[in-house]
Structure 1
């Protein structure tokens, strides 16, 4: 059972949602305007707020912005309801900080399903498959690969992108999102908080594609971040919420990285094609002998120049190669425009290579 706050100036909608949510064993708090709704959110600390857009004293967008700006309730999950069904309205809702956008007239069955998905309480759900994108060498497009891979997997099934950078992660930037919520807030809470679905779900950022992002803290961390035990617990909770989890890994073998590699089904080991890049990959494989069978090699060329033969790379590393991504200057341009190639240029070499990689990941 969750505690759910419904804010709508339409009494019929309030009655309808009150009845539907109570029948599903939720505790319901009702409010007919934005100011009162914000006060109740602060006083009652619900797990989820359902917010109408069109209200007389404060519209739903402003209400959600105020919720996200208040540290005591910022991690609350939020659904926005609106009679406006255009793409620009969905974008406005998600930009304000909503997790889910639902247009009226309401389909109660679909609404309740969204509530369960958001709260992570759906029954009989298969746990998500975890795909880390990993390299101990920086500057070879790890975040580019992780972001585009997650967007492509989202086209198949609900996906979460987890940015584990401890040095100001860039996944939110690449997706055009502001990291107003991030996993850094969990470090200040007790360890058992990592097991609470409602707390974790409230930290997600929503992209217009439907992809969910758990962003990294915008400022570099002073310290280690998650312990191995903490991140294992967090991953267990996250796996209940989506079908795929793509992890943008830090370029280090810290406790958090070890936890992800232990939990992953397949790991994309990203490598450069130059001698230093190949040497780093060989040394990584030497250190991580136990995980060797779960690695899938992906080469990414980030500078122009001749490309080594695939067979020579395969012999040097003694692992199957998912793909070799040729140099493509538009990779950086697309990300700087906050419009990744998976969405803006589906025929690009990067996207074609990642589609091939996905087939191998899911085979």
Structure 2
């Protein structure tokens, strides 16, 4: 049965155009030209998602969102605010009123479709997770960047080993980048199949015992769930429900879980990021990447991931005098930088050639000390 989407906009042309685009994606469209009509349709039809304009002649979108959130029957309905109001204050007001996502007009149709797909997938009744009654949930960290090539996978692996050394407890590193995985390549594993095997199952079939069978223990002590490196398998990232079913259970398998989420915010990445207790954002000190990272942080904030749930790590990959100083990056991002990694190109090259992570290759190096600092910062508030 097609999901029902209520589109609310006082502009008839916008109402018609957006409705047609969404119908072509297979959704059933309900339309309302004013706030009162929107509330009536929402109460009667109970749509699966509401696409809501702000500026309306009777009741504005902010108030509509508040009333829907206060309704005991439809209060959990996903809401996307889709508006020409671009001020940060309006965005904050919209999110505080209850919007899940705030999009500004004009936007690319594929971005709108992606947000709709993510919210509908998230709103579906979650599959039951069969966990031991005494299960102690661990701490799950997602690592991502605004673009590729910044060292996300390198950080995930070396941080995992550093956390393991620091706390002496189980650490699980999971790669959620099918089709572009660097974790297995970095560690010298030829044909990893762990994530691929799990994605052959239905969400309800995925459980702790089955996930355990797909884990590999590295000689450093950390456990690994690895994704395929074959480019053709990149389509696996579209299996959002299955990826969520896997990720939800990982914290019950380990005290610390670190997810490689790669670059950008694909629909699946958004869903996985929201399951994490905190997010580490990798940035390099160049003007372009700082700007990209600002946009990434705005998008994470729109997903209610910001402030105390995010950490910034700055990685200098090359020795040069033309990059921004870390203080300037921190000021531009308006967020504390937890650790600054100094350039170590020779060590990084040796690690890649020998499949031996940097913190193992040279455990007393400055780089290893910087990873130890990050591990200590993360674990000090988690362990009692």
- TM-score, with length taken from structure 2: 0.59
Q: Using a 3 Å threshold, how does the CA distance of structure 1 residues 222 and 249 change in structure 2: closer, same or farther?
A: closer
Asked whether 1:216 is paired with 2:227, we answer yes
Partner SS, residue 273 of structure 1 = coil
Q: Using a 3 Å threshold, how does the CA distance of structure 1 residues 319 and 128 change in structure 2: closer, same or farther?
A: same
Partner SS, residue 199 of structure 2 = helix
Any conservation in 2 of the 1:184–1:217 contact (CA below 8 Å)? yes
Q: Deviations over 1:102-122 (max 9, x none)?
A: xxxxxxxxxxxxxxxxxx977
Partner SS, residue 319 of structure 2 = coil
Asked whether 1:357 is paired with 2:367, we answer no
CA deviation after TM superposition for structure 1 residue 181, in Å: 2.8
Q: Deviations over 1:33-81 (max 9, x none)?
A: xxxxxxxxxxxxxxxxxxxxxxxxxxxxxxxxxxxxxxxxxxxxxxxxx
CA deviation after TM superposition for structure 1 residue 215, in Å: 0.5
Partner SS, residue 177 of structure 1 = coil
- Cα distance in 2 for partners of 1:123, 1:154 equals 26
CA deviation after TM superposition for structure 1 residue 273, in Å: 0.5
- Cα distance in 1 for partners of 2:248, 2:328 equals 39
Partner SS, residue 150 of structure 2 = coil
Which residue matches 2:268? 256
Query: Which of 344, 355, 362 is residue 338 of structure 1 equivalent to?
Result: 355
- Cα distance in 1 for partners of 2:366, 2:150 equals 16
Q: Using a 3 Å threshold, how does the CA distance of structure 1 residues 140 and 323 change in structure 2: closer, same or farther?
A: same
Q: Aligned residue pairs: how many? A: 243
Asked whether 1:272 is paired with 2:276, we answer no
Q: Runs of 5+ in structure 1 lacking a partner?
A: 1-119
Partner SS, residue 165 of structure 1 = coil
CA deviation after TM superposition for structure 1 residue 180, in Å: 3.9
Which residue matches 2:173? 161
Q: Using a 3 Å threshold, how does the CA distance of structure 1 residues 224 and 255 change in structure 2: closer, same or farther?
A: farther
Asked whether 1:130 is paired with 2:140, we answer yes
Q: Using a 3 Å threshold, how does the CA distance of structure 1 residues 139 and 222 change in structure 2: closer, same or farther?
A: closer
- Taking the TM superposition and a 5 Å limit, the aligned residue runs for 1:19-30 are none
Any conservation in 1 of the 2:203–2:241 contact (CA below 8 Å)? no
Asked whether 1:152 is paired with 2:162, we answer yes
CA deviation after TM superposition for structure 1 residue 146, in Å: 0.7
Which residue matches 1:20? none
- Cα distance in 1 for partners of 2:201, 2:273 equals 24
Which residue matches 1:292? 306
Partner SS, residue 279 of structure 1 = helix
Partner SS, residue 198 of structure 1 = helix
Q: Runs of 5+ in structure 2 lacking a partner?
A: 1-129
CA deviation after TM superposition for structure 1 residue 123, in Å: 6.2
CA deviation after TM superposition for structure 1 residue 191, in Å: 1.9
CA deviation after TM superposition for structure 1 residue 350, in Å: 2.4
Which residue matches 1:185? 197
CA deviation after TM superposition for structure 1 residue 174, in Å: 1.7
Any conservation in 1 of the 2:160–2:172 contact (CA below 8 Å)? yes
- Taking the TM superposition and a 5 Å limit, the aligned residue runs for 1:303-322 are 303-306=318-321, 308-322=324-338
Alpha-carbon RMSD across the aligned residues, in angstroms, is 2.0
Q: Using a 3 Å threshold, how does the CA distance of structure 1 residues 269 and 222 change in structure 2: closer, same or farther?
A: closer
Partner SS, residue 350 of structure 1 = helix
